[in-house]
Structure 1
Amino acid sequence: MTTHRMITLAAAVLALVGVAGPAHADADVTDGRVSLTVHGHGVRVDRVDGWLTGRHPGARARLYTVYQGSRTDLTAWKRARVRSAGRQRIMQATWTPHRRLPQGAWLCVQYDGADGDPCARIHR
């Protein structure tokens, strides 16, 4: 089984069980119409994409972490861009934090006015 297929399968299982997934290297997590894609190595996060299904002019997104019960905003609100995927319109926001997060922290994306805040657990 390829790595991409394994990640896709893991994300599907996690979507059935909950809205969190591991991000030791890469992770794809979906909660409702909001998705989170994390790229990195170990506890270092190099790129994060937040996706919102549908066209939502003026949609804004931000990243936050949850560690030891405390929520911390990692970024300010950022305006998302409209992307096309065939006939489907999606909103995308991208960040390149290039930073290390604490072992066991949860990295989450939030879209203003959208239900669902998917999170990925950061670990080695």
Structure 2
Amino acid sequence: MKYLTTVAVVFLSLACATAPAHADASVKDGKVGLSVKGKGLSVKQAGGWMDGHGTGVRARLYTVYKGQRADITRWKEATPVTAGTTQFSNVDWNLNGRSFRNGTWLCIEFNKVDGTPCAKIHR
């Protein structure tokens, strides 16, 4: 019986791993991270963080589709956050279920550090 339960758990894990992709993602590039929440081609929220604090830290979101870049937000001031000995700058946007084309890359950039992580939005 224990063997059957293990097989069922493995099967369900594999089935979930091959489920259709959606807009949820979390990626990091160097000192910069991006988090995207949504379903299908619709994005509800997106945000990012940069390791460290600083004055005048700002970020914006942009998309890349078929080689064409388009800014989708204006520069926004990041909030400095300290959690124990970790310091980072955080920024979030409510995109209200904004829809994107299949295969669009949603990216974030900060004005104080290199690294522009991107998450691919696809079905």
3-state DSSP of counterpart to 1:48: strand
Report the equivalent of 1:102.
101
Q: 1:105 to 1:78 in 2, by over 3 A?
A: same
Residue in structure 2 matching 1:69, options 67, 85, 105: 67
Give the distance between the partners of 2:58 and 2:67, measured in 1 at CA. Answer: 25
What count of residue pairs does the alignment treat as equivalent? 103
Residue in structure 2 matching 1:49, options 41, 47, 54: 47
Give the distance between the partners of 1:34 and 1:85, measured in 2 at CA. Answer: 17
Superposed, 1:1-124 pairs within 5 Å as 24-98=22-96, 99-124=98-123
Counterpart code for 1:24: H
Counterpart code for 1:71: R
Percentage of identical aligned residues:
48
> Which range moves more in the overlay, 68-77 or 81-90?
81-90
Give the distance between the partners of 1:47 and 1:59, measured in 2 at CA. Answer: 20
Q: Please report the TM-score for the alignment, with normalisation by the length of structure 2.
A: 0.80
For structure 2, the 5+ residue unaligned runs are: 1-8, 10-20
Deviation at 1:122, TM superposition (A): 0.2
3-state DSSP of counterpart to 2:95: coil
3-state DSSP of counterpart to 2:112: coil
Counterpart code for 1:63: L
Deviation at 1:83, TM superposition (A): 1.1
Give the aligned CA root-mean-square deviation in angstroms.
Answer: 1.4
Give the distance between the partners of 1:25 and 1:117, measured in 2 at CA. Answer: 18
1:7-44 C-alpha deviation (Å, 9 max, x unpaired): xxxxxxxxxxxxxxxx7241110000000000000110
For structure 1, the 5+ residue unaligned runs are: 2-22
Q: Please report the TM-score for the alignment, with normalisation by the length of structure 1.
A: 0.79
